[in-house]
Amino acid sequence: MLDLTLRLLARVLSCCTPRPRGRHRLGAVPPLRFVPLPPPRFAEDRLQRERRRAAYLATLGIDVGPARIHGVRVASR
């Protein structure tokens, strides 16, 4: 039954969509150009780890916020 449905759907879609002609018809798909990104810098990686650690500890009720907020040193409790 599924095969019959797929064939019917393919036939209806082929009637509704135009067939490509000339230079623009589908042929071999050109390869995608992959431009590798530079590896992340160590400082960015370290900051990401600190944020994840702070988020995990916050779920446990432990506050490990930054030592400075807006340039003002925060008192430790």
- Distance (Å) of CA 50 to CA 21, 43, 59, 72: 56, 11, 14, 20
pLDDT value for 9: 81
pLDDT the model gives residue 16: 77
The pTM (predicted TM-score) of the whole model is 0.37
The residue behind tokens 């623009």 is 24
Q: What is the pLDDT of residue 47?
A: 83
Q: Residues 65, 42, 72, CA angle at the centre, nearest 5°?
A: 30
